[in-house]
Amino acid sequence: MQVKKWLVAGAVAACAAVAAVVVLGTGASAAPQSTFVLLDGSRQTTQDLRGKVALVNFWATSCTTCVAEMPEIVATYDKFKDRGFETLAVAMSYDPPSYVVNFTETRKLPFKVAIDNTGEVARAWGDVKLTPSTFIVNKRGEIVKSFVGAPDFAELHKLIERLLAEA
């Protein structure tokens, strides 16, 4: 019984330490090393994003919030793309590839779109299950902010401006 108390106390202390880092620290953590399979069959890795500010958006064609926020994501990409900003939309494994291709073509998405056929990428990025889930990655390859649901795009733009200005 005494061992259980120590284990519980240790687990509570570990959780408190993690919470303190998230609240008090920068909150930045290295983006997972992932390979994204793009619609054209080419591949892009997390390493390819180094030196750029990136928005990585996990989405699905069946997600109404995802569909509703997509014009804002396009506008964000258009606003910052010439300044070293990259956008990567990652369709969830349960999304039929033909739906993703159709959505991408009919909406003329101007950025890279990947399909996570196996769910491996979503697992690597924190076991993403809820869409939309969006991650902002700085030039050093660190996740500096994440959102579940549609972000406040005015605040997001301020963050991107700040990150683009960093050396």
What global pTM score does this model have? 0.83
pLDDT at residue 100, rounded to an integer: 98
CATH number for the region 31-165 comes to: 3.40.30.10
15-40 pLDDT per residue, tens:
333 333 333 335 679 999 999 999 99
The string of DSSP letters for 5-45 reads HHHHHHHHHHHHHHHHHHHHS---EEPP--EEEBTTS-EEE
Please write the tens of the pLDDT for every residue from 69-104.
999 999 999 999 999 999 999 999 999 999 999 999
The set of long-range contacts for 18-22, using a CB threshold of 8 Å and a minimum separation of 24, is none
Quote the pLDDT of residue 137. 98
CA distances from 167 to 44, 62, 64, 161, 163 (A): 23, 39, 37, 12, 9
